[in-house]
Structure 1
Amino acid sequence: MSRIKRWINMHGKEFNPDGSLKYQAREQMLSRGMSNAAIDDYARRLKIKYDKWKHLDETDPKPWPVYTAYDFFTAEEKQQFNPDGSVRREYVESALRSGISQGWLEEMERRKKLEVDNYNAVSARYAEQGINFGSEQMQLILAASTTYVQRRKEMEVDMRNCEPADSLPFDKDTPY
């Protein structure tokens, strides 16, 4: 999301969407004993920051990768469900042949559609605040997987150094 939207979220109680100080905010500052000069200085500094962020939004917009709920489905879920959470026709046919009931398939679909709808609602709510929910979630997943790989490599070194088994992050017989 844009830097300006984030700026407005941070300062929206005191400032207008154009970066100018709200009259009510000025009055409140005066009532707390701030001088007009101090208020003007504060408003000027934040307006400069607003203008800088606005210029950056226009000349160098931040990338906003769009992730859908489907991007977070497991490989198995991608075989079972469509991006909207409905069960794939091929999976229904296969599941019915293997003895899974129609009722359970409908329940699976209902749950997955709720999951997709929830993701979309949260993503939209975060976007209004200038936060890319999908991107944050993807970064968490990538960080977790990187951490696991790093810990496995560190464990291999610890094992070569004959570290005690109870100090290792995983059971030494854990498959890769």
Structure 2
Amino acid sequence: MSGTRIKRWLNMHGKEFNADGTLKDEVRQQKLAKGAHPGAIDSYARRLKEEYDEWKHLDETDPEPWPVYTAYDFFTAEEKQQFYADGTLRAEYIEIALSKGISENWLAEMERRKKIDVDNYNRVSARDAERGINFGEQEMNRLRASSRTYVERLKQMEQDLRNFEEPSSLPFDKDTPYF
């Protein structure tokens, strides 16, 4: 997705800066009214405009990768057998479920809930994309991190302890034994 850095920059600084990276005039006036030195305001505006220009240049010359994930990518293997990507139930699953005695009402409820999940994913993904954030990529990274093995997490915890991380932020009690 092009312009992701600029979108993030504007998300961080958009209250004070225009879409072209220049300080809004009303912000300049507010700072002056609060007693800020004009040179300090100009220096602030210049530093952030330089950062904006650098990020814009990077967006144009070296766009960030933007892997596209859909809600379907986060379905479990079982859910992929039950549902299509839009959250509707697969006809073959409905047949099997009905033959096992699952009610049509329950199947309709399952479908309704899955469609809500898909719609929510799509809504958050679109909202975050407007801000230059790849929600799907963040979710995939979170899932990958949480699926690490127990031993890998213990080793990471040892490193975190050596880095003096707060014990409450660790995945296990610091006295957790190895097997």
Q: TM-score, normalised by structure 1?
A: 0.84
Measure the CA separation in 2 of the matches of 1:83 and 1:149: 34
- 1:83 partnered with 2:93: no
In the alignment, the residues of structure 2 paired with residue 152 and residue 32 of structure 1 have an alpha-carbon distance, to the nearest angstrom, of 52
For the structure 1 residues 46 and 93, does the alpha-carbon distance in structure 2 shift closer, same or farther, using more than 3 Å as the test?
Answer: same
1:133 partner amino acid: F
Residue in structure 1 matching 2:122, options 117, 120, 138: 120
1:55 aligns with 57
Which residue does the alignment assign to 1:37?
Answer: 39
Task: Measure how far apart 1:82 and its partner are.
Answer: 0.3
Q: CA deviation at 1:32?
A: 1.4
Deviation at 1:94, TM superposition (A): 0.9
Alpha-carbon separation, structure 1, partners of 2:91 and 2:27? 58
Deviation at 1:151, TM superposition (A): 4.4
Matched residue, 1:103? 105
Deviates more, 1:91-100 or 1:70-79: 91-100
The CA distance in 2 between the partners of 1:167 and 1:41, in whole Å, is: 52
Query: Across the two proteins, how many residue pairs are aligned to each other?
Result: 159
Identity level (%) = 67
Q: Distance in 1 between matches of 2:154 and 2:15?
A: 48
Q: Structure 1 residues 91, 18: closer, same or farther in 2, change over 3 A?
A: same
Q: Deviation at 1:101?
A: 1.2
Give per-residue Cα distances to partners, 1:50-74, cap 9 Å, x unaligned.
1000000000000111111100000
The residue aligned with 1:158 is none
User: Which runs of 4 or more aligned residues in structure 1 lie more than 3 Å from their structure 2 counterparts after TM superposition?
Assistant: 151-154, 166-169
CA 1:151/1:50 → structure 2, altered by over 3 Å: closer, same or farther?
closer
Q: CA deviation at 1:167?
A: 4.0
Q: CA deviation at 1:147?
A: 4.6
Amino acid at match of 2:64: K
Query: What secondary structure, in the 3-state scheme, does the structure 2 residue paired with 1:146 have?
Result: coil
5 Å-filtered alignment, 1:1-176, equals 2-148=4-150, 150-151=152-153, 167-168=176-177
SS at match of 2:148: helix
Structure 1 stretch displaced more, 144-153 or 34-43: 144-153
Consecutive unaligned residues of structure 2, counting only runs of 5 or more, are 157-174
Deviations 1:27-66 (A, max 9, x none): 0110111121111111111111010000000000001111
Using the alignment, how far apart are the partners of 1:153 and 1:27 within structure 2?
54
TM-score under structure 2 normalisation? 0.83
Q: Give me the whole-angstrom Cα distance separating, in 1, the residues matched to 2:66 and 2:124.
A: 16
